[in-house]
Amino acid sequence: MVFFPKTLGTSVLLLIIGSPLFAAAPGAKPARSPDQAVSYYEELLPIFQANCHGCHQPAKAKGEYVMTAFDKLLAGGKTAGAIVPGKPEKSHLLEQITPNPAGEIEMPKNGKPLATAEIDRIRKWIAEGALDDTPLNARERYDSEHPPTYSRPPVITSLDYSPDGTLLAISGFHEVILQKIDPSGTATPMARLVGLSDRIESLRFSPDGSRLAVTGGLVGRMGEVQVWNVEKRKLELSVPITFDTVYGASWSPDGSKIAFGCADKTARAIDSKSGKQVLFMGSHGDWVLDTVFSTDGTHLISSGRDQTAKLTKVDEERFVDNITSITPGALKGGLASVAKHPARDEILVGGSDDHGGLFAGAAWTATPRCKTVAEFLRHVQLGQTPREAAILGAKEISITVMTREAEERLLGARKSEPNTEQNVVSSAPPVAPQ
Protein backbone atom coordinates (compact mmCIF):
# COMPACT_ATOMS: atom_id res chain seq x y z
CA MET A 1 0.00 0.00 0.00
CA VAL A 2 1.34 3.43 -0.91
CA PHE A 3 0.16 6.84 0.27
CA PHE A 4 0.79 9.33 -2.51
CA PRO A 5 2.33 12.57 -1.18
CA LYS A 6 0.00 15.54 -1.11
CA THR A 7 2.60 17.63 -2.97
CA LEU A 8 1.44 15.93 -6.17
CA GLY A 9 -1.85 17.77 -6.00
CA THR A 10 -4.81 15.46 -5.53
CA SER A 11 -4.11 12.98 -2.77
CA VAL A 12 -4.78 9.36 -3.60
CA LEU A 13 -4.47 6.08 -1.72
CA LEU A 14 -3.21 3.29 -3.93
CA LEU A 15 -3.87 -0.27 -2.76
CA ILE A 16 -1.73 -2.88 -4.42
CA ILE A 17 -3.28 -6.11 -3.25
CA GLY A 18 -1.81 -9.27 -4.69
CA SER A 19 -0.20 -12.53 -3.85
CA PRO A 20 3.58 -12.85 -3.81
CA LEU A 21 4.92 -15.39 -6.27
CA PHE A 22 5.67 -18.10 -3.78
CA ALA A 23 7.98 -20.76 -5.15
CA ALA A 24 7.94 -24.24 -3.71
CA ALA A 25 11.29 -25.15 -2.22
CA PRO A 26 12.88 -28.31 -3.65
CA GLY A 27 13.32 -31.32 -1.42
CA ALA A 28 16.32 -31.19 0.88
CA LYS A 29 19.36 -33.06 -0.40
CA PRO A 30 21.25 -35.47 1.85
CA ALA A 31 24.33 -34.05 3.55
CA ARG A 32 27.56 -34.55 1.61
CA SER A 33 30.14 -36.91 3.01
CA PRO A 34 33.39 -35.32 4.27
CA ASP A 35 35.19 -37.58 1.80
CA GLN A 36 33.28 -36.22 -1.20
CA ALA A 37 34.67 -33.43 -3.33
CA VAL A 38 33.49 -30.06 -2.08
CA SER A 39 30.74 -28.39 -4.12
CA TYR A 40 31.24 -24.66 -4.48
CA TYR A 41 27.61 -24.07 -5.49
CA GLU A 42 25.91 -26.30 -2.92
CA GLU A 43 28.24 -25.86 0.07
CA LEU A 44 30.39 -22.76 -0.17
CA LEU A 45 28.25 -20.25 -2.04
CA PRO A 46 25.61 -20.23 0.77
CA ILE A 47 28.41 -19.52 3.27
CA PHE A 48 29.72 -16.62 1.19
CA GLN A 49 26.20 -15.26 0.61
CA ALA A 50 25.42 -15.24 4.32
CA ASN A 51 28.72 -13.82 5.52
CA CYS A 52 30.57 -12.03 2.71
CA HIS A 53 28.44 -10.82 -0.20
CA GLY A 54 26.94 -7.95 1.76
CA CYS A 55 30.26 -6.09 1.63
CA HIS A 56 31.83 -7.66 -1.45
CA GLN A 57 29.48 -7.21 -4.43
CA PRO A 58 29.58 -4.93 -7.47
CA ALA A 59 27.37 -2.28 -5.83
CA LYS A 60 29.53 -2.27 -2.69
CA ALA A 61 33.02 -3.72 -3.12
CA LYS A 62 35.01 -3.15 0.07
CA GLY A 63 38.73 -3.49 -0.51
CA GLU A 64 37.85 -3.57 -4.23
CA TYR A 65 37.04 -7.25 -3.74
CA VAL A 66 33.95 -8.71 -5.45
CA MET A 67 32.91 -12.20 -4.37
CA THR A 68 29.70 -12.57 -6.40
CA ALA A 69 31.55 -13.24 -9.69
CA PHE A 70 33.69 -16.38 -9.65
CA ASP A 71 36.65 -14.97 -11.56
CA LYS A 72 36.81 -11.97 -9.22
CA LEU A 73 36.41 -14.25 -6.18
CA LEU A 74 39.64 -15.99 -7.16
CA ALA A 75 41.50 -12.85 -8.25
CA GLY A 76 41.04 -10.79 -5.08
CA GLY A 77 40.89 -7.03 -4.63
CA LYS A 78 43.59 -4.69 -3.38
CA THR A 79 45.41 -7.81 -2.25
CA ALA A 80 45.78 -10.23 -5.15
CA GLY A 81 45.63 -13.98 -4.89
CA ALA A 82 42.53 -14.32 -2.74
CA ILE A 83 42.20 -17.93 -3.82
CA VAL A 84 45.05 -19.85 -5.46
CA PRO A 85 43.67 -23.14 -6.81
CA GLY A 86 45.49 -26.11 -5.35
CA LYS A 87 47.40 -23.98 -2.85
CA PRO A 88 45.37 -23.16 0.29
CA GLU A 89 48.52 -22.02 2.12
CA LYS A 90 48.94 -19.20 -0.45
CA SER A 91 45.28 -18.17 -0.55
CA HIS A 92 44.77 -14.80 1.14
CA LEU A 93 41.04 -15.39 1.71
CA LEU A 94 41.73 -18.45 3.84
CA GLU A 95 44.19 -16.42 5.91
CA GLN A 96 41.55 -13.72 6.47
CA ILE A 97 38.85 -16.10 7.74
CA THR A 98 41.05 -18.37 9.90
CA PRO A 99 41.28 -17.31 13.57
CA ASN A 100 44.75 -16.53 14.93
CA PRO A 101 46.00 -18.13 18.18
CA ALA A 102 44.07 -15.45 20.12
CA GLY A 103 40.84 -16.40 18.31
CA GLU A 104 40.73 -13.15 16.33
CA ILE A 105 39.75 -12.91 12.65
CA GLU A 106 40.06 -10.34 9.89
CA MET A 107 36.88 -11.43 8.15
CA PRO A 108 33.90 -11.33 8.30
CA LYS A 109 34.41 -7.77 9.49
CA ASN A 110 32.59 -7.20 12.79
CA GLY A 111 30.86 -10.54 12.29
CA LYS A 112 30.93 -13.98 13.84
CA PRO A 113 33.81 -16.25 12.81
CA LEU A 114 32.98 -19.02 10.40
CA ALA A 115 32.59 -22.45 11.96
CA THR A 116 35.69 -24.63 11.93
CA ALA A 117 33.89 -27.14 9.71
CA GLU A 118 33.10 -24.39 7.19
CA ILE A 119 36.71 -23.22 7.08
CA ASP A 120 37.86 -26.82 6.63
CA ARG A 121 35.52 -27.26 3.64
CA ILE A 122 36.82 -24.04 2.05
CA ARG A 123 40.40 -25.21 2.57
CA LYS A 124 39.61 -28.62 1.06
CA TRP A 125 37.86 -26.99 -1.92
CA ILE A 126 40.92 -24.83 -2.65
CA ALA A 127 43.23 -27.85 -2.32
CA GLU A 128 41.03 -29.74 -4.80
CA GLY A 129 41.49 -26.99 -7.39
CA ALA A 130 38.77 -24.46 -6.48
CA LEU A 131 36.38 -25.59 -9.21
CA ASP A 132 33.16 -23.74 -10.07
CA ASP A 133 30.22 -26.15 -10.38
CA THR A 134 27.54 -23.43 -10.53
CA PRO A 135 24.83 -24.32 -13.07
CA LEU A 136 24.76 -21.99 -16.07
CA ASN A 137 21.26 -20.77 -15.26
CA ALA A 138 22.26 -19.82 -11.69
CA ARG A 139 25.30 -17.66 -12.44
CA GLU A 140 25.20 -13.99 -11.42
CA ARG A 141 25.18 -11.82 -14.53
CA TYR A 142 23.80 -8.42 -13.54
CA ASP A 143 25.42 -5.30 -12.11
CA SER A 144 25.30 -1.57 -12.73
CA GLU A 145 27.36 -2.00 -15.91
CA HIS A 146 25.25 -4.94 -17.07
CA PRO A 147 21.66 -4.19 -15.96
CA PRO A 148 18.79 -6.52 -16.85
CA THR A 149 17.12 -6.22 -20.22
CA TYR A 150 13.41 -6.95 -20.49
CA SER A 151 11.62 -8.70 -23.33
CA ARG A 152 8.31 -7.85 -21.66
CA PRO A 153 7.25 -5.57 -18.77
CA PRO A 154 8.55 -6.89 -15.43
CA VAL A 155 6.30 -7.94 -12.58
CA ILE A 156 6.03 -4.95 -10.21
CA THR A 157 5.90 -6.15 -6.61
CA SER A 158 6.37 -2.77 -4.91
CA LEU A 159 6.59 0.97 -5.53
CA ASP A 160 6.97 4.06 -3.38
CA TYR A 161 6.98 7.83 -3.72
CA SER A 162 9.64 9.95 -2.05
CA PRO A 163 8.23 12.14 0.75
CA ASP A 164 8.32 15.25 -1.46
CA GLY A 165 6.63 13.42 -4.33
CA THR A 166 9.39 14.11 -6.86
CA LEU A 167 10.70 10.54 -7.16
CA LEU A 168 9.01 7.22 -7.76
CA ALA A 169 10.85 3.97 -6.97
CA ILE A 170 9.66 0.86 -8.83
CA SER A 171 10.74 -2.73 -8.28
CA GLY A 172 12.15 -4.71 -11.18
CA PHE A 173 14.22 -7.84 -11.64
CA HIS A 174 17.52 -7.51 -9.73
CA GLU A 175 16.98 -3.75 -9.55
CA VAL A 176 15.01 -0.73 -8.42
CA ILE A 177 14.10 1.80 -11.10
CA LEU A 178 14.02 5.46 -10.03
CA GLN A 179 11.87 7.89 -11.99
CA LYS A 180 11.67 11.66 -11.72
CA ILE A 181 8.11 13.00 -11.44
CA ASP A 182 7.56 16.56 -12.66
CA PRO A 183 4.67 18.77 -11.43
CA SER A 184 2.48 17.62 -14.32
CA GLY A 185 2.89 14.00 -13.24
CA THR A 186 5.14 13.02 -16.15
CA ALA A 187 7.73 10.36 -15.24
CA THR A 188 11.29 10.43 -16.57
CA PRO A 189 13.73 7.50 -16.02
CA MET A 190 16.47 8.64 -13.68
CA ALA A 191 18.54 5.71 -12.36
CA ARG A 192 18.72 1.93 -12.10
CA LEU A 193 19.86 0.57 -8.74
CA VAL A 194 21.11 -2.96 -9.50
CA GLY A 195 21.80 -5.10 -6.44
CA LEU A 196 22.39 -8.68 -5.41
CA SER A 197 18.77 -9.79 -4.93
CA ASP A 198 17.03 -11.05 -8.04
CA ARG A 199 13.60 -10.89 -6.34
CA ILE A 200 12.64 -7.44 -5.02
CA GLU A 201 9.71 -7.74 -2.59
CA SER A 202 9.39 -4.25 -1.08
CA LEU A 203 10.95 -0.81 -1.16
CA ARG A 204 10.43 2.29 1.00
CA PHE A 205 11.95 5.76 1.11
CA SER A 206 13.28 6.95 4.46
CA PRO A 207 11.25 9.67 6.23
CA ASP A 208 13.61 12.37 4.92
CA GLY A 209 13.80 10.83 1.44
CA SER A 210 17.60 10.56 1.45
CA ARG A 211 17.73 6.75 1.57
CA LEU A 212 15.81 3.86 0.10
CA ALA A 213 15.28 0.52 1.88
CA VAL A 214 14.84 -2.54 -0.32
CA THR A 215 14.00 -6.09 0.76
CA GLY A 216 14.13 -9.25 -1.30
CA GLY A 217 16.65 -11.98 -1.87
CA LEU A 218 17.35 -15.17 -3.76
CA VAL A 219 14.39 -17.52 -3.42
CA GLY A 220 15.15 -20.49 -1.19
CA ARG A 221 18.77 -19.34 -0.65
CA MET A 222 19.01 -16.00 1.10
CA GLY A 223 17.17 -12.84 2.10
CA GLU A 224 18.65 -9.36 1.87
CA VAL A 225 17.97 -5.83 3.10
CA GLN A 226 19.56 -3.10 1.00
CA VAL A 227 19.92 0.58 1.90
CA TRP A 228 20.70 2.96 -0.96
CA ASN A 229 21.86 6.57 -0.87
CA VAL A 230 19.32 8.13 -3.23
CA GLU A 231 21.33 11.20 -4.26
CA LYS A 232 24.58 9.31 -4.90
CA ARG A 233 22.86 6.17 -6.26
CA LYS A 234 25.18 4.21 -4.01
CA LEU A 235 24.54 1.08 -1.96
CA GLU A 236 25.29 1.96 1.67
CA LEU A 237 24.25 -1.27 3.34
CA SER A 238 23.55 -4.86 2.32
CA VAL A 239 22.47 -7.21 5.10
CA PRO A 240 22.02 -10.91 4.21
CA ILE A 241 19.43 -12.42 6.55
CA THR A 242 17.60 -15.78 6.75
CA PHE A 243 17.56 -18.31 3.91
CA ASP A 244 14.66 -16.98 1.86
CA THR A 245 13.41 -13.66 0.53
CA VAL A 246 12.27 -11.03 3.05
CA TYR A 247 9.28 -8.69 2.80
CA GLY A 248 7.51 -5.53 3.91
CA ALA A 249 10.19 -2.91 4.63
CA SER A 250 9.25 0.05 6.84
CA TRP A 251 11.21 2.87 8.46
CA SER A 252 10.88 4.08 12.02
CA PRO A 253 9.74 7.73 12.15
CA ASP A 254 13.25 8.94 13.02
CA GLY A 255 14.87 6.85 10.28
CA SER A 256 17.08 4.93 12.70
CA LYS A 257 15.50 1.50 12.16
CA ILE A 258 14.21 -0.59 9.27
CA ALA A 259 11.67 -3.34 9.97
CA PHE A 260 10.75 -6.22 7.68
CA GLY A 261 9.06 -9.62 7.65
CA CYS A 262 10.59 -13.03 6.99
CA ALA A 263 9.49 -16.41 5.69
CA ASP A 264 10.72 -18.00 8.93
CA LYS A 265 7.65 -16.48 10.65
CA THR A 266 9.58 -13.63 12.26
CA ALA A 267 9.32 -9.85 12.16
CA ARG A 268 12.69 -8.14 12.57
CA ALA A 269 14.30 -4.73 12.56
CA ILE A 270 17.87 -3.57 12.01
CA ASP A 271 19.79 -0.40 12.72
CA SER A 272 19.65 1.52 9.43
CA LYS A 273 23.30 2.62 9.67
CA SER A 274 25.11 -0.48 10.97
CA GLY A 275 22.75 -3.27 9.92
CA LYS A 276 22.77 -4.68 13.45
CA GLN A 277 19.58 -6.51 14.39
CA VAL A 278 17.63 -4.63 17.06
CA LEU A 279 14.29 -6.48 17.01
CA PHE A 280 13.30 -10.14 16.72
CA MET A 281 9.65 -11.15 17.14
CA GLY A 282 8.62 -14.75 16.51
CA SER A 283 4.93 -14.82 17.43
CA HIS A 284 3.53 -15.15 13.91
CA GLY A 285 2.34 -18.54 12.71
CA ASP A 286 3.32 -18.10 9.06
CA TRP A 287 5.31 -15.85 6.74
CA VAL A 288 5.40 -12.19 7.80
CA LEU A 289 4.64 -10.09 4.71
CA ASP A 290 4.53 -6.46 5.83
CA THR A 291 5.39 -4.11 8.69
CA VAL A 292 4.78 -0.52 9.78
CA PHE A 293 5.87 1.50 12.82
CA SER A 294 3.54 3.39 15.11
CA THR A 295 3.52 7.18 14.91
CA ASP A 296 6.03 7.57 17.77
CA GLY A 297 8.13 4.56 16.71
CA THR A 298 7.67 2.68 19.98
CA HIS A 299 5.61 -0.14 18.46
CA LEU A 300 5.70 -2.23 15.29
CA ILE A 301 2.66 -3.61 13.50
CA SER A 302 3.25 -6.71 11.37
CA SER A 303 0.90 -8.73 9.16
CA GLY A 304 1.27 -12.13 7.54
CA ARG A 305 -0.10 -15.28 6.01
CA ASP A 306 -1.35 -16.41 9.42
CA GLN A 307 -4.30 -13.98 8.90
CA THR A 308 -3.26 -11.69 11.74
CA ALA A 309 -1.83 -8.24 12.34
CA LYS A 310 0.26 -8.16 15.51
CA LEU A 311 1.57 -5.43 17.79
CA THR A 312 5.13 -5.51 19.17
CA LYS A 313 6.91 -3.22 21.68
CA VAL A 314 10.13 -2.37 19.87
CA ASP A 315 12.60 -1.56 22.66
CA GLU A 316 11.55 -4.61 24.67
CA GLU A 317 11.22 -6.93 21.63
CA ARG A 318 7.94 -8.01 23.21
CA PHE A 319 4.82 -9.22 21.44
CA VAL A 320 1.86 -7.29 22.88
CA ASP A 321 -1.29 -8.65 21.25
CA ASN A 322 -3.16 -9.35 18.02
CA ILE A 323 -4.71 -6.23 16.53
CA THR A 324 -7.06 -7.95 14.11
CA SER A 325 -10.10 -10.07 14.88
CA ILE A 326 -10.61 -12.42 11.94
CA THR A 327 -14.07 -13.49 10.83
CA PRO A 328 -14.20 -17.32 10.63
CA GLY A 329 -13.84 -18.46 7.05
CA ALA A 330 -12.52 -15.10 5.80
CA LEU A 331 -9.02 -14.08 4.70
CA LYS A 332 -7.68 -17.57 4.17
CA GLY A 333 -5.10 -16.00 1.90
CA GLY A 334 -3.65 -14.06 4.83
CA LEU A 335 -2.88 -10.36 5.32
CA ALA A 336 -0.41 -9.31 2.65
CA SER A 337 -0.09 -5.59 3.39
CA VAL A 338 -0.47 -3.02 6.14
CA ALA A 339 -0.38 0.80 6.00
CA LYS A 340 -0.70 3.42 8.73
CA HIS A 341 -2.49 6.75 8.63
CA PRO A 342 0.15 9.48 8.12
CA ALA A 343 -0.69 11.27 11.38
CA ARG A 344 -2.64 8.86 13.57
CA ASP A 345 -2.19 5.32 14.87
CA GLU A 346 -4.80 3.87 12.56
CA ILE A 347 -4.02 1.07 10.12
CA LEU A 348 -5.41 -0.39 6.94
CA VAL A 349 -4.56 -4.01 6.09
CA GLY A 350 -4.97 -5.82 2.79
CA GLY A 351 -5.17 -9.48 1.87
CA SER A 352 -7.35 -12.02 0.13
CA ASP A 353 -9.70 -14.92 0.63
CA ASP A 354 -9.03 -18.36 -0.83
CA HIS A 355 -11.07 -17.57 -3.93
CA GLY A 356 -8.95 -14.69 -5.13
CA GLY A 357 -11.37 -11.95 -4.07
CA LEU A 358 -9.84 -8.68 -2.87
CA PHE A 359 -10.03 -7.66 0.74
CA ALA A 360 -8.98 -4.67 2.81
CA GLY A 361 -9.77 -4.27 6.49
CA ALA A 362 -8.73 -1.98 9.28
CA ALA A 363 -9.05 -1.07 12.90
CA TRP A 364 -9.90 2.63 13.02
CA THR A 365 -10.81 4.89 15.90
CA ALA A 366 -13.77 6.01 13.80
CA THR A 367 -15.12 5.78 10.28
CA PRO A 368 -16.71 8.26 7.86
CA ARG A 369 -20.40 7.88 7.01
CA CYS A 370 -19.62 6.46 3.57
CA LYS A 371 -21.49 4.24 1.18
CA THR A 372 -18.66 3.44 -1.23
CA VAL A 373 -14.96 2.70 -1.13
CA ALA A 374 -14.23 5.82 -3.15
CA GLU A 375 -15.90 8.04 -0.53
CA PHE A 376 -14.11 6.24 2.29
CA LEU A 377 -10.64 6.56 0.72
CA ARG A 378 -11.26 10.20 -0.18
CA HIS A 379 -11.97 11.02 3.47
CA VAL A 380 -8.91 9.11 4.63
CA GLN A 381 -6.54 10.79 2.19
CA LEU A 382 -7.87 14.25 2.94
CA GLY A 383 -6.64 13.63 6.47
CA GLN A 384 -9.87 14.94 7.91
CA THR A 385 -10.56 14.65 11.58
CA PRO A 386 -13.53 12.51 12.65
CA ARG A 387 -15.73 15.58 13.10
CA GLU A 388 -14.65 17.12 9.79
CA ALA A 389 -15.45 13.88 7.93
CA ALA A 390 -18.87 13.53 9.58
CA ILE A 391 -17.64 10.57 11.56
CA LEU A 392 -19.88 8.11 13.32
CA GLY A 393 -19.06 8.19 17.01
CA ALA A 394 -17.88 4.58 17.46
CA LYS A 395 -14.63 4.33 19.40
CA GLU A 396 -13.38 1.29 17.51
CA ILE A 397 -14.77 -0.57 14.53
CA SER A 398 -13.68 -2.96 11.80
CA ILE A 399 -14.11 -2.05 8.17
CA THR A 400 -14.20 -4.59 5.40
CA VAL A 401 -13.84 -3.62 1.75
CA MET A 402 -14.54 -6.38 -0.78
CA THR A 403 -15.38 -6.89 -4.39
CA ARG A 404 -19.03 -7.77 -4.88
CA GLU A 405 -17.97 -11.26 -6.03
CA ALA A 406 -15.83 -11.88 -2.93
CA GLU A 407 -18.60 -10.64 -0.64
CA GLU A 408 -21.11 -13.04 -2.16
CA ARG A 409 -18.68 -15.93 -1.83
CA LEU A 410 -18.08 -15.19 1.82
CA LEU A 411 -21.61 -14.39 2.90
CA GLY A 412 -23.35 -16.72 0.46
CA ALA A 413 -24.82 -15.84 -2.89
CA ARG A 414 -27.60 -13.45 -2.05
CA LYS A 415 -29.74 -11.14 -4.05
CA SER A 416 -28.77 -7.52 -3.88
CA GLU A 417 -29.48 -4.34 -5.77
CA PRO A 418 -27.21 -3.74 -8.76
CA ASN A 419 -24.19 -1.74 -7.72
CA THR A 420 -21.16 -1.08 -9.89
CA GLU A 421 -19.16 0.29 -6.98
CA GLN A 422 -17.58 -1.64 -4.11
CA ASN A 423 -19.30 -1.53 -0.73
CA VAL A 424 -18.03 -0.68 2.69
CA VAL A 425 -19.31 -3.12 5.27
CA SER A 426 -18.90 -2.10 8.91
CA SER A 427 -19.28 -4.43 11.86
CA ALA A 428 -20.05 -1.55 14.17
CA PRO A 429 -23.64 -0.43 14.67
CA PRO A 430 -24.44 3.12 13.65
CA VAL A 431 -23.91 5.66 16.37
CA ALA A 432 -25.30 9.16 16.31
CA PRO A 433 -22.68 11.79 15.45
CA GLN A 434 -21.43 13.83 18.35
Does residue 169 sit in the same domain as residue 301?
A: yes
The count of structural domains within the chain is: 3
Does residue 295 sit in the same domain as residue 162?
A: yes
Domain limit, last residue, from 323, 339, 369: 323
Is 26 within a domain?
Answer: no
In this prediction, residue 347 carries a pLDDT of: 84
Average pLDDT, the chain: 76
Does residue 280 sit in the same domain as residue 350?
A: no
The rounded distance, in Å, linking the Cα atoms of 253 and 174 is 28
The rounded distance, in Å, linking the Cα atoms of 195 and 174 is 6
In this prediction, residue 324 carries a pLDDT of: 76
Instruction: Flag whether the pTM goes above 0.75.
Output: no
Does residue 176 sit in the same domain as residue 303?
A: yes
Is 147 within a domain?
Answer: no
Asked if 4 and 13 count as a contact pair (C-beta separation under 8 A), the reply is yes
First vs last Cα of the chain: how many Å apart?
A: 31
The secondary structure of 347-410 as a DSSP string is EEEEEE-TTS-EEEEEEES--B--SBHHHHHHHHHTT--TTTTTB---SSEEEEEE-HHHHHHH
Is 34 within a domain?
Answer: no
**Whether residue 244 has pLDDT greater than 60:** yes
Domain limit, last residue, from 279, 298, 323: 323
Q: Which of 34-43, 47-56, 76-85, 320-329 has the lowest mean pLDDT?
A: 320-329
Please write the tens of the pLDDT for every residue from 369-416: 444 444 444 444 444 433 333 333 323 333 444 444 544 544 454 344
Does residue 106 sit in the same domain as residue 164?
A: no
In this prediction, residue 140 carries a pLDDT of: 65
Does residue 389 sit in the same domain as residue 255?
A: no
Write the CB contacts of 137 (distance below 8 Å, at least 6 apart in sequence): none
Please write the tens of the pLDDT for every residue from 86-114: 998 999 988 888 888 877 888 888 778 88
Does residue 237 sit in the same domain as residue 92?
A: no
Is 148 within a domain?
Answer: no
Domain limit, last residue, from 290, 305, 323: 323
Is 33 within a domain?
Answer: no
Does residue 257 sit in the same domain as residue 377?
A: no
Does residue 422 sit in the same domain as residue 385?
A: yes
Does residue 167 sit in the same domain as residue 296?
A: yes
Average pLDDT on 236-264 reads: 95
Higher pLDDT, 200 or 59: 200
> What is the domain extent for residue 357?
331-434
